[in-house]
Amino acid sequence: MSSILAAGRLDVNALDYSILALYFAIVVVIGVLARRAIATSEDFFLSGRSLPAWVTGLAFISANLGALEILGMAANGAQYGIPTVHFYWIGAVPAMVFLGLVMMPFYYGSRVHSVPEYLRRRFNAPTHLFNALTFAVASVLTAGINLYALALVLRSLLGWPIPLAVAVGAGFVLAYITLGGLSGAIYTEVLQFFVIVAGLVPVVIVGLVSVGGWSGLQAKVESTVPNGDRLFSAWAGAQAGHWTNPLGDWIGIVMGLGFVLSFGYWTTNFAEVQRALSAKDLSAAQRTPLIGAYPKIFIPALTIIPGLVAIAVVPNLGKDGGPTYNDAIPELMGRFLPNGVLGIALTGLLAAFMAGMAANVSSFNTVFTYDIWRPYIRPGRSDRHYLNVGRTITVVGIVIGIGTAFIAAGYSNIMVYVQLLFSFFNAPLFATFIIAMFWKRTTPWAGLAGLVAGTVGAGVMHLASYHIGYFYPGGNASNHAEINAQMANFYSAIVAFVADAVVTVLVTLVTKPKPIEELRGLVWGVPDPDAPDAAQAKKPRTWWENPKILGFGALALTAVLSIVFL
C-alpha cells in the first residue's frame, strides 16, 4: 500500500508515473487526430455540429467535473455531509432537464454559435457585447480556479513547485484545444469522464469497506463529530430563519441555489451549452444535458462519500494542525490505494482539473472570436482569419487563466468563490433569458438594463454581506468568520435575479419592442417554420431517443433519492 509521506506527498513510483505519462500522450494524440477534421471555423468552435448525443452528453457532464466537483464537493462532504447533495439534486438535475426540454430548441433551432449571439438576435448589439465581455471575464476566472487547484495537487502530492505545476497543466490543455478545437476538447472530456470514474471508484469502495460499510461509516462519523447525525440528513436545520443547516435555510437552498444559481448556470453558461450545440441534430442537442443528468445524479457517491470516510479515518481533518477538508480525497488515496491503482486515481484527479479548464477555455475562444472580434473589431474577414484568431486567443486565454489562478488562491474555499462568480454573472443572465423567451413584449434596451441592474444588485448584496455585516435573526454577523458564506452567495443570487427581473419589466413597459417577424424562433409561441430542424424534431422516436422520457425519468429518480436521504 502507498502512504502519504511526512511532507504530504504520495508515495508515487515508476508505474504510477507511467500511467500519468500514457494518459497525457493519449490526450495529445486526440488533439492531433481531431485537427485533421478542422477545415472551417465552425469545425473548430462547434465540431461542425456533427457529434452524436452520447458523446456530447458525456462531454457535457465531464466539462463540469473539474476541480470544484472533485476537491470542492469532497471537502463539503467532509465538512457538511449529506446536505452537499443539494448541489446535485436541487442545484443541477432540474435545470439540466429544463435546458434539454425547453431551451435547447431555441439555441439549436436558431443556429447560434454561442449564448451571447442569442442575446444579439433577441435584443440588440449593446446587450450582446455586455454579455460577451462579462462571460469572457467569468470564463478566465473559472479557468484559473481549475488551474490553481491542479497546481496545488501537483505540489502537495508530487512535490512539484506551483510554477512548474501550472505550466505543465496549462501546456497540455493548450495542446489539445489549439490542435483539435472543440472536437479535441470533447473527445478528451469523454476519455476524462471514464478516467475520473475509474480513479474515484476504488477510493469509495476501499474506504467504505475500511469503516464497515454505510452503517459503520455513520457510527464512526457520529462518534467523531459533535451532532454527527446531522451530517446524514439533507434537510436538518433548514427551517426558514433557523439556519443551522450548513447551506442555510430552505429559502436560500431552493430559491437561491435550486432556482437562480442552478438554472442560471446550466441553461446560460456557454461552457456547458457549447457541448450541446456541437450535436448533430436537434434531437441529439436536446438529449445532451438529459444524458448528462443521469451520471450527475450518482456523482455524489464519488465525491460526498469519500469526504465522509475521510472524517472517520483521517485524524484531525479540518482541525488546527491537521489536514484541511480540501485534502480529503488525496488523504484517502494515500492511505488506501496501492501503486498502479494510485496512478489511475491520480490521473483521474488531474483529468478532472484539465476537463474543467478546457471547458472554460474552449468556450472563451468561441465567444471572443464570434461575439467580440468578428462583429466589433474585424468584421467581414475570411473564415480562415477567424479560425486563426480562435487558435491565437486560446493561447491568450490560458495565459490569462494562469494569472487568475492566483486570484483563486485568495479564497480558502473554492466552492464559495465559484458560487460568488455565479451570483454576479449567471444569476442576472438567467432572469433576462427566462423573461425574454416567454414574454415577446420584452424590448431590446430592457435586456441591457436588466443585466446591468442584476450585476450591480449582486455587487451590493456582496458588499452588504462581507463588508458592512450580514444581519442574521437575533444578531449581527460582523466579521467573516461568522458569515455563512454559501448562504450569503445564495441570497446575492436571489437579489441579482430580482433586480434584473424588475428592471427588465419596467424598461420594457416604457420602450418599443421588436417586430414579431424578428422574433421567430427566439421566443416561446413564435416558431420559425424555416428552422432547419423543425421537421426533424416532430418525427417519432424510440423511447431512448425521446427527450421527455429521458428528462422526466431523471427527475423521478432524483425525487426518489431525495426522499431516501430526507
Answering whether pTM is above 0.85, one says: no
Q: Is residue 504 part of a domain?
A: no
pLDDT score at 6:
36
Q: What is the mean pLDDT of residues 233-243?
A: 66
Range of the domain at 259: 14-414
200, amino acid identity: L
The predicted pLDDT at position 2 comes to 37
pLDDT classification of 501: cutoffs 50, 70, 90: very high
Residue 63 maps to a domain = yes
Numbers of helices and strands, H then E, in the chain? 25, 2
Question: For the residues 524-548, what does the mean pLDDT come to?
Answer: 68
Tens digit of pLDDT for each residue in 362-378?
A: 788 888 998 999 999 99
Beta bridge partners of 4: 10
Q: Judge whether 143 and 357 are in contact, CB under 8 Å.
A: yes
Instruction: Kindly tell me if the per-residue pLDDT of 418 is higher than 50.
Output: yes
Q: Is the pLDDT of residue 440 over 70?
A: yes
Is residue 357 left, alpha or beta, with left meaning phi > 0 and alpha meaning psi from -120 to 50? alpha
Q: What's the whole-number average pLDDT of the chain? A: 81
Given a cut of 90, whether residue 553 has pLDDT beyond it is yes
Q: What is the pLDDT of residue 112?
A: 76
Scanning the structure block, which residue is given the C-alpha cell 427527450?
Answer: 547
The reply to whether 207 falls in a domain is yes
pLDDT classification of 216: cutoffs 50, 70, 90: very high
Minimum mean pLDDT range among 55-59, 132-136, 335-339, 405-409: 405-409
Q: Which of 470, 472, 493 is nearest to 480 (CA)?
A: 470
pLDDT tier at 215 (50, 70, 90 boundaries)?
A: very high
**How far apart, in whole angstroms, are the C-alpha atoms of residue 337 and residue 405?**
30
**Residue 515, domain member (yes or no):** no
Per-residue pLDDT tens digits for 303-316: 999 999 999 898 88
| Residue range 178-199: mean pLDDT, rounded | 75
Query: Residue 84 sits in a domain of what CATH number?
Result: 1.20.1730.10
Q: Count of domains in the chain?
A: 1
Give the per-residue SS3 of 99-130.
HHHHHHHHHHHCCCCCHHHHHHHHCCHHHHHH
Note whether 276 and 289 are within 8 A (CB): yes
Q: What is the pLDDT of residue 463?
A: 77
pLDDT in tens, 473-500: 444 545 555 566 677 788 888 899 999 9
Is 372 within the bounds of a domain? yes
CA-wise closest residue to 303 among 284, 283, 324, 328? 328
What pLDDT is attached to residue 468? 53
The number of CA neighbours under 13 Å toward the Cβ of 13 is 9
Quote the CA–CA distance of 97 and 288 in Å, as a whole number: 10
Closest CA to 30 of 169, 140, 172: 172
More confident: 178 or 70: 70
Residue 526 lies in a domain: no
Over residues 233-238, the mean pLDDT reads 72
Distance of CA 194 to the CA centre of its chain: 18
Q: Residue 180 domain-assigned?
A: yes
Query: pLDDT by residue (tens digit) across 39-83?
Result: 666 666 666 677 888 888 888 888 777 666 787 788 888 888 888
Give pLDDT, residue 373.
94
Q: Which three cell numbers stand for residue 231?
A: 451530517
Query: Is residue 333 in a domain?
Result: yes
